Amino acid sequence: MNTFYLHPADLGLQKSAPESLKGGEAADNAAIARAILDGEKGPRRDIVLLNAGASLLVAEKVATIPEGIAMAAAAIDSGRAKQVLETLVRVSQDAKATS
């Protein structure tokens, strides 16, 4: 197993205090997620981009974390990520209604 450390600045992201990343109750967290998908910038979006970038690297969809960050940012900025969430919500509600 390899261990390495990333500094946000190495990836074009701002370092932020842990308090700025805190969530809350489920409704609060859903509101945070929707705000990010609606284009809100800041530390919460940055951590989403970092996690998505790393996940895309692990899934071998990109060659580098910065490439994954760019792909995730494009998905958010184009509205595609929000469309996926809306589809997931609709499908899950339809499944509840039919069960």
- What mean pLDDT comes out for the span 10-37? 92
Domain count for the chain: 1
Q: How confident is the model at residue 66 (pLDDT cuts 50, 70, 90)?
A: very high
Single-letter code of the amino acid located at 31: A
Q: What is the 3-state secondary structure (H, E, C) of 37-71?
A: HCCCCCHHHHHHHHHHHHHHHHCCCCCCHHHHHHH
Whether the CB-CB separation of 64 and 22 falls below 8 Å is answered with: no
> 40 phi and psi, to 5 degrees?
-60, 130
pTM for this structure?
Answer: 0.85
70 in any annotated domain? yes
48 in any annotated domain? yes
The tens digit of pLDDT for each residue in 40-61 reads: 999 999 999 999 999 999 999 9
Domain range spanning residue 45?
Answer: 21-98
16 in any annotated domain? no
8 in any annotated domain? no
* Dist CA 3 CA 25 (whole Å): 32
